[in-house]
Homo-oligomer: A and B are copies of this chain.
Amino acid sequence: MPQLLRVQNFSISQDGVGAGENQTFERPFGDRVEPWELMSWAGATAGWPNRTDPGGTRGLDDYFTRDFAHNIGAEIMGRNKFGYQRGPWTDHEWQGWWGDEPPFHTPVFVLTHHVRPSFTLSDTTFHFLDATPAEAAQQAKAAADGKDVRVGGGVSTVREFLDAGLLDTLHIAVAPVTIGAGLTLWESPEELEDRYHHETVPSSSGVTHHLFWRD
């Protein structure tokens, strides 16, 4: 099986917003966007990787969250998913939003113009790359031990990989909320239909799951 570059469980609003402007430590999704507005569908499921209590739903949404780590050997993320700082690193103590047990359990490649040394938290190692999407894809695939590579976001990073024609499949969850302004993945999902098959699956949570793949 060829190694795929996949977007999974990436949540946006009905108007295509994945994050707001002006990200800060207090507002990791930026202006206007509360994380739970976009992500509560995932947190409600039994399979949510960050779940600490038992229970959770077992419906359609759960099939998507359970698939999060399936056959994934590495993640690529943008610097703004990794943290809220911009420019040269002034706080090397910052090791991401996820505490001592990040939910990735694979190598993670953070794209940034300001590289810094790799570090490991539990079974996740973060590497910092100043590279094009194609170069990052190549390096992540080499580290993924034959498995697929997740492109984890944020929205600008997904767009860069999309524009470079590198993504093999996307699962985009459109939450039943309208934000009004921010960083958008698309104006309409139909924009991708020149390049991908597109299946739309409504869930009882109110989320619509959009699946894209190519031959």
CB–CB A203/B204 < 8 A: no
* Smallest Cβ-Cβ distance to A214: which chain B residue: B58
Residue numbers in B under 8 Å from A164 (CB-CB): none
Bound Cα distance A125, B209 (Å): 38
Please name all residues of chain B whose beta carbon is closer than 8 Å to the beta carbon of A197 when the two chains form the complex.
Answer: 57-59
Q: In the complex the two chains form, what is the Cα distance from A58 to B111 in whole Å?
A: 27
The residue on B at minimum CB distance from A213 is: B58
The answer to whether B60 and A213 touch across the interface, beta carbons within 8 angstroms, is no
Q: Measured between alpha carbons, how far is A211 from B70 in the docked complex, in Å?
A: 20
Nearest CB in chain B: distance from A150 CB, A: 14
Enumerate chain B residues within 8 angstroms of A186, measured Cβ to Cβ.
none
A213 partner residues in chain B, CB cutoff 8 A: 57-59
CB distance from A167 to the nearest CB of B (A): 12
Stretch in A22-30, A61-69, A99-107, A135-143 with 4+ CB within 8 Å of B: A61-69
CB–CB B59/A70 < 8 A? no
Pairs of residues from A and B, 10 with the lowest C-beta to C-beta distance, nearest first: A58-B213, A59-B199, A63-B63, A60-B201, A59-B211, A58-B169, A199-B204, A60-B199, A63-B67, A66-B70
